[in-house]
Amino acid sequence: MTDEAVRISITIKIANKERKLEGKIKPEEIEETIQRMALAIGQECLEMGIQELDNQVAKQVPKGWQNVGTEERWLVSSLGAMRYKRRIYLDEKRRRRKPVDEMLGIEKYGRVSSRVQEMGASLACMSTYRLAASQLSYLVKTPISHSTVQRMAWATGNRIADGEEAERRRIFEHGEARESGRIRAPVLYGESDGVWVHLQREKRRSAEVRVAILSTGRKQIGKDRYRLENKRCMTAIGLNSEMWQEQIVRETHLHYDLSETKLLISGGDGNQWVRHSFDRIGIPQEFVLDRFHLHRAAKRTFRNQAEVAQIVTQLRHKGFSSVSKDLRQRIEQSDDRDKKKLKDFYQYIHNNQDGLVDLENRGIGIPVYLGGIEGNVDKLVVHRMKGRGCSWRLRGLRAMLALCRNCDQLKYHAYHYFPTQTPKKDYHRRQILEVEYSETLTKSMPIFQGPDQDKPWVRSLHRLVHGR
């Protein structure tokens, strides 16, 4: 074993270009060094690809466009910070056009690639903006501020939400027909619920977020573990019942083919808008009151657990009529303290009497795959948008809900990239671009000049902070 440096020599040939990488590095730094070399090559390949794209575009620009030269642009890509050149044109209306930027999805004043924007949006829907910015900065080895990540999330999320709203308008306001989804099932299962989220700098202090899920059943994936099949999630802020139903109809026809669907089994806590969430789908519906809420209402009313079990069993087998007479007598004979509880429980089961009896006791031999709405509400709303003193602007809340609904698609772009070295000459450009990151990144730490400065973990920290 030795601590001496090892000489590494690698020759890379791409098309008609050849590059040789060599140097002396210590054994513990081989992996990191080769990774950095690989990313440096990746940046060169990306620059070559953009240049080739620019050359191809130059042959196909519309007639009347005038080439007025080239401009250099600084860009944060998933491979690190880089520069590239592209041609600038004046179109027929004398507007400056940059076709390559437009094709790559880079905004006019943007400094991040579309891939990095997707990575930032994916990280933002799983953690706070500051934590997401820290993670993204590590992945691309370029300082990214939390406000930049916020803009990424807002832009991506609102783009998704705008597309969904435009489609709703085309269908329900302009009468356009659309092709049905491909998922077929004889039975659909639907649930809905709501949760309140704190707002800031808005006319109101909170807003209700409505959540609905549709599925074709459930599948066992492990011991006592199940997963809803062909699940589709929907969320909305501040919609009235009619618009909420329209959104559910749009999402249903977008993903499901209802030509063979004979029944929809819906569930919920009994709230009126919850009960009617799926009314406009246009197929027969059977409502089942959520058993958790039924048991909770009974426990809040009756102290004896045996009595709770008895009355819930009666409701599930024989319905409201089996307990209504007894409850009215109790209300008349009870004191004021218990009377209110009994009245509230009586009113609750009276309003939801069509959802009390189990399906098998209604003569419908179909399994009930309900009860997943609470977990989905937690995953889509609560975990990201409640707690830790969270409060939202309506625009940011709308964007974040869209991201959380589509997080399964976004997360595939959030790969873990390895460290790359940013040239010193680009450092002042980062300062201009991002001014909100911590000054610690630009200042020296005492540990770097102390007696431990030669230890491996100190050198690794130095490379992480200073990029070299």
For the segment 89-138, what is each residue's pLDDT rounded down to a tens digit? 998 889 999 999 888 888 878 888 888 988 999 999 888 899 999 999 98
What pLDDT, on the 0 to 100 scale, is given for residue 21? 67
Domain regions of the chain by residue span:
6-152+414-437, 185-283+372-392, 291-369
- Secondary structure of residue 283 in the 3-state scheme: coil
Place of tokens 């819930």: 312
Report, as an integer, the average pLDDT of 253-269.
89
Closest alpha carbon to 172 in 251, 107, 60: 251
- Secondary structure of residue 460 in the 3-state scheme: helix
Q: How many CA atoms lie within 13 Å of 290's alpha carbon, on the beta-carbon side?
A: 19
Q: Which helix (H) or strand (E) holds 294?
A: helix 291-301
What pLDDT, on the 0 to 100 scale, is given for residue 414? 46
Position with higher pLDDT, 39 vs 97 = 97
For the segment 335-371, what is each residue's pLDDT rounded down to a tens digit? 777 888 899 999 999 999 999 999 999 988 888 888 8
Q: Which residues of 13-48 are buried (b: 16+ CB within 10 A; e: fewer)?
A: eeeeeeeebeeeeeeebeeeeeebbbbbbbbbebbe
- What global pTM score does this model have? 0.73
Distance of CA 325 to the CA centre of its chain: 49
Q: Which DSSP letter does residue 447 get? A: G
For the segment 390-449, what is each residue's pLDDT rounded down to a tens digit? 899 999 999 999 998 888 777 654 433 333 233 344 334 333 333 333 333 334 455 555
Chain mean pLDDT for the chain: 81
What pLDDT, on the 0 to 100 scale, is given for residue 454? 61
DSSP of 322-350, one letter per residue?
Answer: HHHHHHHHHHHHS-HHHHHHHHHHHHHHH
For the segment 176-210, what is each residue's pLDDT rounded down to a tens digit? 666 667 888 899 999 999 999 999 989 899 999 99
CA distances from 149 to 57, 116, 134, 152, 243 (A): 31, 10, 10, 5, 31
